[in-house]
Amino acid sequence: MPKILVATVKPFAPVAVEQIKKIVEEAGYDFALLEKYEDAEELKRAVADVNALIVRSDKITSEIINAAPKLKIVVRAGAGYDNIDLKAATEKGVVVMNTPGQNSNAVAELVLGMMVYLARNQFNGKPGTELKGKTLGLHAYGHVGKRVAEIAKGFGMPLYAFDPFIPKEIIEKDGVEAVPSVEELYATCQYVSLHIPANEKTIKSINYELMSRMPQNAVLVNTARKEIIDEEGLLKMFAERPDFKYISDIAPDCAAEIGEKYPGRFFFTPKKMGAQTAEANINAGIAAAKQIVNFFEKGDRTFQVNK
Ligand code: 3PG
């Protein structure tokens, strides 16, 4: 009988854990839980006899995979799988999946929430600005970008998107203008919201050259990954453009310098919070558990990312 381990440094909401456990046990499998573990050694010990693993942003390195000789599948309950060593998993014949779309509403709500928070001067009592009528650019139009567009429409923001992988007609059907180049997106939009993954092509790709194209009172919103930002370029933007602001779901490495020099022009969540809602945990957790059961029972590999 397969043993499924939920291993999360940042735990799911208890209600989500209950539902994952129920699916696993109803399938007749063993359920194990490891939350808030201290280090890789603890995770290595816990994976020694498991057949399947459900994780969040937990680092699944080759060391962890090698410590799990019975492992057949890892499901990242969420969208980005840059925390998993796909090469090591593939070499060991371990299937890796994500659960696309399951936590996107939570991330999208945080985007707009943080935008309002900064536009209103972090609720310090001084007059702020409104989002209505301000241009919003979506850098990538996947599940999160599309959901941000739906919500931002209610705020009355003119919407633009750049996504080379999604046909123009699909984007424009949603009332969002598809722009032909990333440069044009940044040049057009006062707000730009990032929804690209972190990989060898995108790491440090949001650089000064791109950011400096943004119009006056530019606000860059990052609920993707801190690694996609070129922090040298970010600091240059802060120094040269007193109108520029940066909002990020997780602080950049240069947060202390920004905090010291540019008060009021940034907001960073203390911990990655995009998917930290009960609903997102339930959706992604249930999807992960079901994908594992379908994999063992029917060989279903629909959401495999290391093909
Ligand atoms: C994702 O890639 O799905 C989000 O970044 C959420 O990450 P988390 O599960 O670690 O909160």
Residue 100 Cα to ligand 1 middle (Å)? 11
With a 6 Å cutoff on the Cβ, whether 142 touches ligand 1 is: no
DSSP string covering 165-213, please?
TS-HHHHHTTT-EEPS-HHHHHHH-SEEEE----STTTTT-B-HHHHTT
Domains of the chain listed by start with CATH number:
3-100+277-298 (3.40.50.720), 104-268 (3.40.50.720)
Q: Give mean pLDDT, residues 18-30.
A: 98
pLDDT score recorded for residue 258: 98
pLDDT score recorded for residue 99: 98
pLDDT score recorded for residue 5: 98
Q: Which atom of ligand 1 is nearest to the CA of 57?
A: 10
pLDDT score recorded for residue 77: 98
Residue 29 Cα to ligand 1 middle (Å)? 26
With a 6 Å cutoff on the Cβ, whether 57 touches ligand 1 is: yes
pLDDT score recorded for residue 291: 98
With a 6 Å cutoff on the Cβ, whether 78 touches ligand 1 is: yes
| Angle (CA) 34 283 199, round 5° | 75
**Residue 176 pLDDT class (50, 70, 90 cuts):** very high
- Write down the mean pLDDT value for the chain: 98
Q: At what angle do helices 104-119 and 143-155 cross, to 10 degrees?
A: 40
With a 6 Å cutoff on the Cβ, whether 79 touches ligand 1 is: yes
| Ligand 1 probe mutation, 20, 83, 103, most atoms within 8 A of CB | 103
**Residue 191 pLDDT class (50, 70, 90 cuts):** very high
Name the token pair of 235. 């600091």
Indicate which residue's Cα is closest to atom 5 of ligand 1.
Answer: 80
pLDDT score recorded for residue 6: 98
Torsion of CA 98, 100, 102, 106, to 10 degrees: 110
**Residue 299 pLDDT class (50, 70, 90 cuts):** very high
Residue 36's region, left for phi above 0, alpha for psi from -120 to 50, else beta, is left
- Decide if 109 contacts 275 (C-beta within 8 A): no
| Ligand 1 probe mutation, 227, 272, 282, most atoms within 8 A of CB | 272
Indicate which residue's Cα is closest to atom 6 of ligand 1.
Answer: 275
CB atoms within 10 A of CB 259: 12
pLDDT score recorded for residue 197: 97
pLDDT score recorded for residue 246: 98
Q: Give mean pLDDT, residues 195-220.
A: 98
Residue 74 Cα to ligand 1 middle (Å)? 15
DSSP symbol at 305: S
What length is written for the chain? 307
pLDDT tens profile 57-74: 999 999 999 999 999 999
With a 6 Å cutoff on the Cβ, whether 100 touches ligand 1 is: no
- Decide if 32 contacts 3 (C-beta within 8 A): yes
Indicate which residue's Cα is closest to atom 10 of ligand 1.
Answer: 57
Nearest CA-CA partner of 226 in 217, 237, 234: 234
Helical H runs in the chain? 14-26, 40-47, 62-66, 86-91, 104-119, 143-155, 168-172, 182-188, 208-211, 231-240, 255-261, 278-298
pLDDT tens profile 249-275: 999 999 999 999 999 999 999 999 999
Residue 83 Cα to ligand 1 middle (Å)? 10
Q: Which atom of ligand 1 is nearest to the CA of 78?
A: 3
With a 6 Å cutoff on the Cβ, whether 56 touches ligand 1 is: yes
With a 6 Å cutoff on the Cβ, whether 272 touches ligand 1 is: yes
CA distances to 2, 9, 92, 214 from 51, rounded to whole Å, are 6, 19, 13, 48
pLDDT tens profile 128-169: 999 999 999 999 999 999 999 999 999 999 999 999 999 999
The predicted model scores a pTM of 0.96
Q: Give mean pLDDT, residues 109-118.
A: 98
Residue 53 Cα to ligand 1 middle (Å)? 16
Share of the chain above pLDDT 90, in %: 99
Distance, CA of 30 to CA of 182 (rounded, Å): 47
Q: Give mean pLDDT, residues 76-96.
A: 98
